[in-house]
Each structure stands twice: as C-alpha cells, then as structure tokens.
C-alpha cells in the first residue's frame, strides 16, 4: 500500500468496460508507461497508483482494475448476495470511473448502457465518469464512429475521449481529465 504522505489528496478511481477493450493497458500506460501486446486477462482485482499535479497540489490516484467480464452481472456467483458484495466493494468510495469500449468492436459500445446502469446503481451519485473509446490506432478496423461516442457522452453527461494505449494517444489526457474533475468536486 502506497503511503499518502507524499500527496495532498488521494482519490479512488475504477476502470470498467467489457473484457479486452484495453483497460489494463490504459492503466499500465498511465501508471508505468508500459504497453503489452499479449496482455493476460486480469484476474481478480488489481490496482496501481500515480501522482498527478493539479494546480499546486499533488493528487494520488488509486486506480482499480478488474477482470471486466461483459459486466459483473455476467459472472457466475453462487448467489446474488455474493455478486452484490464483490461489485459494491469495487465501486465503494470510487470518485471517478473510466468507462472503456473498443472502437473496433461495436458490441463493446452497445454494452455501455448496461455498464452505466451498473455504475449508477453501485457508484456514488457525483462520480465523475469519463467515456473512453480505446484502440484509436486501429483506423482500418473501426466500427464505432467518433460522433457516436460523442453523442452518447453528451446524452449521458460524460466526458469523452478516444485513446490508444498502444500509441500512447490521449491516455494521459483522459486520466488527467478524470482526476481534475474529481478534484474540482472533492477538494
Ligand atoms: P482488458 O481486458 O480491458 O484489460 O484489455 P487488455 O488491456 O488486456 O487488452 C486487450 C488486448 O487489446 C491486448 O492484446 C492489448 O494488447 C490490446 N490493446 C489494448 N489497448 C490497445 C490499443 O490502444 N491499441 C491496440 N491496437 N491494441 C490494444
Ligand atoms: Mg484487464
């Protein structure tokens, strides 16, 4: 556990979205400037930290990452209670969420509604949500238009950005936007 003595604020943020959209690589790009072409599926819950300067303050973001099945709801748990316990501990206290889809897979975009329902059910009401269309480097494989991402974000009142964890495009901006918005609300 990193100490919070070297920062002015500590924010909990989470990554959500279908599996293989690039959540873990966005996190490793932001936290360690690393990208892995053959990254393994995340098992359980992992997290990483990174300090960011907002104005003259140092904000430490604790960023949670998980297996990211189609939704937590699709995991098979022995009982509904167990599912709710795990899901709510992931969301508990999260001040920001990065909701990620893959611009080359329309299905991951269509599932966003379900993710938003879950975020609103389990998350805090004033949670900052940044919608991220990842893999923008794969121009020839694009299935989701930038406009569609933008429209959904406007409709749902979210920030929006397209990123490439691979080419390191907008990754820093997306996280910093989320962290800055949280700072404006929480600090
Ligand atoms: P997660 O299941 O959402 O955590 O997804 P991962 O981070 O494990 O990534 C799934 C796959 O997509 C891996 O093979 C990554 O190398 C690849 N990937 C992730 N981000 C990008 C990206 O921005 N561009 C490209 N081309 N591939 C990516
Ligand atoms: Mg992962």
Q: Report how far residue 65's alpha carbon sits from residue 13's, in angstroms, rounded to the nearest whole number.
A: 9
10 Å Cβ neighbour count for 107?
12
- Enumerate residues 6+ apart whose C-beta is below 8 A from 4: 10, 60
Using pLDDT thresholds of 50, 70 and 90, give the confidence band for residue 56. Answer: very high
Between residues 79 and 58, which one has the greater pLDDT?
A: 58
Integer-rounded Cα radius of gyration of the chain? 16
Say yes or no: CB of residue 42 within 6 Å of ligand 1: yes
**pLDDT tens across 123-166, in order?**
988 999 999 999 999 999 999 999 999 999 999 999 999 999 99
Q: To which residue do tokens 């360690």 refer?
A: 32
31 Cα to the center of ligand 1, angstroms: 15
> Whose C-alpha lies nearest to ligand 1, atom 2?
20
pTM listed for this prediction: 0.91
Q: What is the ipTM of this complex?
A: 0.99
């Amino acid at each position: 556990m990193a100490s919070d003595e070297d920062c002015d604020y500590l924010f909990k943020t989470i990554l959500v979205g279908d599996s293989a959209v690039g959540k873990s690589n966005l996190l490793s790009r932001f936290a360690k400037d690393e990208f892995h072409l053959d990254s393994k599926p995340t098992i359980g819950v992992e997290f990483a930290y990174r300090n960011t300067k907002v104005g003259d303050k140092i904000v430490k973001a604790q960023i949670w990452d998980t297996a990211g099945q189609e939704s937590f709801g699709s995991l098979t748990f022995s009982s509904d209670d167990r599912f709710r316990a795990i899901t709510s501990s992931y969301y508990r206290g999260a001040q920001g969420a990065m909701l990620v889809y893959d611009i080359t897979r329309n299905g991951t975009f269509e599932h966003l509604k379900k993710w938003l329902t879950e975020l609103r059910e389990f998350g805090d009401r004033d949670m900052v949500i940044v919608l991220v269309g990842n893999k923008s480097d794969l121009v020839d494989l694009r299935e989701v238009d930038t406009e569609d991402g933008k429209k959904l974000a406007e409709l749902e009142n979210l920030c929006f950005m397209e990123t490439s964890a691979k080419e390191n495009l907008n990754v820093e901006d997306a996280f910093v936007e989320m962290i800055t918005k949280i700072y404006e609300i929480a600090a």
